Structure 1
């Protein structure tokens, strides 16, 4: 059941609580269209979000979000943050992507109208963010125009200016669009091999394009350390220059897309038809599309997921190794317009 209360006739909600405690930056980015759609549908509502650091930084300056409640990293912290949120102010609508630690049952005790299952036996060919929107629309909580919205990080003019300044300080005096790489990933199984990255850098640099990296990757120059909002602002500056961000199925790549940058996303253990960015400004490359070990709707149960041990390739995840650097470079050049 997705309803926590029997009275579902109200069209407008004054206090909305969104709970996203799946743990990843990318997970929070995927729920942004739902957050913004709920805010548009309920003008004047107090909309709060319960989530983890560092992702909540993306919401602290968002005009649609009145407040955030931060869950700590330890066992029990997620539930405690939700308890705090409903104690501080009782919601009349609660939406959660999170189903562990008895969180749906906890929300049910508030008497609010709740949507506690945004999954509902998902098909493997429907994007996660799209499914969230479609279910909320079916529940009468989002307008039809929300169904086709992409994630968007809302930046203040001063933040955009700071991003421009940071990027300008890193770029040589050339007019070619920059390419920013995201070589790291939270899960080892999602990482593209180092040799593949170096071959891509060689190709891009050979055509004169400035190449930067979000994390250290010699000989590429790295972006300076900063919070997620500043990284989003740098990505927005990359977008303004017609540049491209390249990386695996990771939060920073989703953040780049949400900041308006063109992206080339590399998908291996996760299926692009389910976890893709789904935007016309991006390209998604899928390694080993027909892998029999992939479980698109139960990725944490894949044999390779936790330790990156691939059952078909001793040297590492075959699905990531199989993505050709030459094809990645071609897709980058196509987005740039070379």
Structure 2
């Protein structure tokens, strides 16, 4: 299987992996993904061979990988990146890999599922509709140790805030996150925990410096998989369009997703309890790498918008637990 490089995209294809494994329970599954995505699937018992595609970036290295896969002679090939590998590995069926989903298949999770059925006819739908992830016993034990160290089991509610994103234009304002975090602490009786990748520590520190209250930070303390275990335990996740958003959807965590330049129809939350906050401007979603204006699609989202959505999800959760 040829998969994506980014963590968020990798999470979206985890349902495809589950569907392939269900269809071929005794098969040897080889997954080719980028280094960041590989961290999500390390030691996953569903995958027998994990290949880091980032090690094959040069033209010569790509040829080496192509012939290695050719010698492997896979009986089933799933290519979710539209590479040239099907021309070498499945030349008589290469036309299947050129097909694109119709326009009414919008969300990327559904588009990946459509490609799976186009490339591997007859495969069952079970498993592809969701994004099942695998967590090791070590992942769970690590999170349990953090819970004990911080005594998080005593908190009536826990909200996880993931303020980062790979692109800075997808990040909501530090002032907005700080305001929402303080309101959750003081008015919603909710403990706040921040998360992020190691290089996002300055983002979290900026928000913490603007807050009146205190919050915990998981930056540098958990892996991407362990963050998924954390999300299974919290009552709310607030995030931008990022890998954290798709991770929250995969584990079914109640989610408030803040969207600006990217299309929520393609990448929005899919958890049963979720809210998408965005401003409908003439330029958004532009899906550009650089903003042509002044980042209004994010700056015009108010803290009240995000907090009201968060409070609604928390109240809904409380009512369900009372009944």
Query: Which residue does the alignment assign to 1:154?
Result: 134
C-alpha contact 1:97 1:118 (8 A) present in aligned 2: no
C-alpha contact 1:181 1:213 (8 A) present in aligned 2: yes
Q: Does 1:274 align with 2:262?
A: no
SS in 2 for 1:54: helix
Change (3 A) 1:271 1:118: farther
Q: Does 1:221 align with 2:216?
A: yes
C-alpha contact 1:167 1:237 (8 A) present in aligned 2: no
C-alpha contact 2:232 2:251 (8 A) present in aligned 1: yes
C-alpha contact 1:246 1:264 (8 A) present in aligned 2: yes
Equivalent of residue 61 in structure 1, options 43, 53, 57: 43
Q: Does 1:212 align with 2:207?
A: no
Query: Which residue does the alignment assign to 1:111?
Result: 90
Question: 1:265-307: per-residue Cα shift (whole Å, max 9, x none)?
Answer: 111111211111322132222x223534535xxx3xxxxx223
Deviation at 1:250, TM superposition (A): 0.2
What TM-score results when the alignment is normalised by the length of structure 1?
0.78
Change (3 A) 1:84 1:318: farther
Q: Does 1:199 align with 2:176?
A: no
Q: Distance in 2 between matches of 1:276 and 1:261?
A: 14
Unpaired segments of 5 or more residues in structure 2?
209-214, 319-323
Change (3 A) 1:333 1:168: farther
SS in 2 for 1:116: helix
Q: Distance in 2 between matches of 1:95 and 1:58?
A: 19
Change (3 A) 1:292 1:54: closer
Question: 1:2-60: per-residue Cα shift (whole Å, max 9, x none)?
Answer: xxxxxxxxxxxxxxxx1123x31101111111111111112211111111122212212
Deviation at 1:261, TM superposition (A): 2.4
- Higher fraction of helix: 2
Deviation at 1:85, TM superposition (A): 5.0
Q: Distance in 2 between matches of 1:120 and 1:75?
A: 27
Deviation at 1:262, TM superposition (A): 2.1
C-alpha contact 1:180 1:211 (8 A) present in aligned 2: yes
Unpaired segments of 5 or more residues in structure 1?
1-17, 300-304
C-alpha contact 1:50 1:82 (8 A) present in aligned 2: no
SS in 2 for 1:278: coil
Query: Which residue does the alignment assign to 1:34?
Result: 16
What TM-score results when the alignment is normalised by the length of structure 2?
0.81
Deviation at 1:179, TM superposition (A): 0.7
C-alpha contact 1:235 1:259 (8 A) present in aligned 2: yes
C-alpha contact 2:163 2:171 (8 A) present in aligned 1: yes
C-alpha contact 1:49 1:68 (8 A) present in aligned 2: yes
Query: Which residue does the alignment assign to 2:321?
Result: none
- Higher fraction of strand: 1
Change (3 A) 1:134 1:260: same
Q: Distance in 2 between matches of 1:210 and 1:120?
A: 42
Query: Which residue does the alignment assign to 2:79?
Result: 96
Q: Distance in 2 between matches of 1:134 and 1:120?
A: 6
Q: Does 1:244 align with 2:244?
A: no
Query: Which residue does the alignment assign to 2:285?
Result: 294
Deviation at 1:231, TM superposition (A): 2.2
C-alpha contact 2:56 2:62 (8 A) present in aligned 1: no
